């Protein structure tokens, strides 16, 4: 009898829509409400923690041997939305690679102290951008999701990946090219130290931004 009663309660919870362990947690929060007249006192609202898209989660959990990026797009054409999401993810990854390589170059120059000679960041960025676009062109799509929205459009999200050593190759090629411009010798050990330090800083920032 007790077992039957517990089963009946469980069925009623589901059918009546009562809260369960899997339901989203709704909480109340108060914020100061500012207007042109100043602070009007606290405003209480409900807030629900949203679930992170699976592909976005994949981009946050990149292993040490990969660089990953996330993108999403909405369009009436399902295939167009998918390809736009990939383009956005690629653009984001190119920007991140550019920033990483430029910072590696700066760290390398600081260690090298090449007789007062300085790099032209514009030239480096141009080289890095074209190389990064070439590498990202061959990215691998490791996750894709598609949603049909109530207005008849489609939302697509993707996570793309490239090997992490491709970033080191880009940084190395850009640094060697710039050394040739400056007429100085390429110092491999200083470069690798700079790359490892910047890569660790980069990965730490990714963890903090989650």
> What is the DSSP track for 18-76?
---TTSPPEEEEEEEEEETTEEEEEEEEEEEPPPPPHHHHHHHT--TTEEEEEEEEEES
Most confident residue range from 27-36, 50-59, 105-114: 50-59
How many CB atoms are located within 10 Å of the residue 197 CB? 15
CA distance 103 to 91: 19
24-51 residues labelled b (16+ CB within 10 A) or e (exposed): eeeeeeeeeeeeeeeeeeeeeeeeeeee
pLDDT at 89 exceeding the cut of 70: yes
Q: How confident is the model at residue 43 (pLDDT cuts 50, 70, 90)?
A: low
CA torsion 57-59-63-64 (nearest 10°) is -140
Which range (40-54, 64-78, 131-145, 170-184) has the least confidence?
40-54
Taking all residues of the chain, what is their mean pLDDT, rounded to a whole number?
79
According to the model, what pLDDT value does residue 10 have?
37
Each residue's pLDDT tens digit, 131-184: 899 999 999 999 999 999 999 999 999 999 999 999 899 988 988 888 888 888
Report, as an integer, the average pLDDT of 70-92.
Answer: 95
Query: Which pLDDT belongs to residue 14?
Result: 34
CA dist 77 → 11, 15, 90, 154 (Å): 41, 37, 20, 7
Pairwise CA distance, residues 70 & 200, whole Å: 20
Q: Which two tokens stand for residue 112?
A: 């090298």
Percent of the chain at pLDDT > 70 equals 71
pLDDT of residue 124: 72
Per-residue pLDDT for 208 more than 90? no
Tokens 């660790």 belong to 200
Q: What is the tens place of the pLDDT at every residue in 103-119? A: 898 888 888 765 556 66
Ranges of each domain in the chain: 54-208
Q: Considering only residues 125 and 115, tell me which one the structure prediction assigns the higher pLDDT.
A: 125
Helix (H, G, I), strand (E, B) or coil at 181: helix
SS3 161: strand
pLDDT band at residue 121 using 50, 70 and 90 as cut-offs: low
Contact 100, 171 (CB under 8 A): yes
Q: Range with the lowest mean pLDDT among 36-40, 90-94, 144-148, 195-199? A: 36-40
């Amino acid at each position: 009898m007790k077992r039957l009663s517990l089963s009946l309660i469980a069925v009623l919870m589901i059918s009546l829509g009562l809260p369960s362990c899997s339901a989203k947690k709704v909480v109340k929060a108060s914020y100061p409400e500012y207007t042109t007249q100043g602070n009007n006192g606290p405003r209480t609202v409900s807030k629900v923690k949203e679930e992170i898209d699976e592909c976005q989660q994949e981009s946050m959990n990149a292993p040490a041997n990969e660089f990953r990026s996330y993108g999403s797009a909405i369009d009436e054409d399902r295939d167009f939305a998918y390809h736009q999401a990939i383009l956005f993810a690629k653009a984001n990854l190119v920007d991140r690679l550019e920033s990483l390589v430029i910072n590696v170059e700066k760290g390398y120059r600081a260690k090298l102290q090449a007789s007062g000679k300085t790099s032209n960041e514009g030239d480096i960025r141009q080289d890095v951008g074209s190389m990064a676009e070439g590498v990202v062109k061959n990215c691998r799509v490791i996750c894709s999701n598609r949603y049909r929205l109530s207005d008849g459009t489609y939302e697509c999200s993707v996570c793309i990946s490239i090997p992490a050593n491709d970033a080191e190759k880009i940084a190395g090629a850009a640094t060697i090219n710039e050394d040739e411009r400056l007429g100085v010798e390429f110092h491999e050990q200083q470069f690798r130290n700079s790359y490892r330090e910047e890569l660790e800083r980069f990965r730490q920032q990714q963890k903090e931004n989650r």
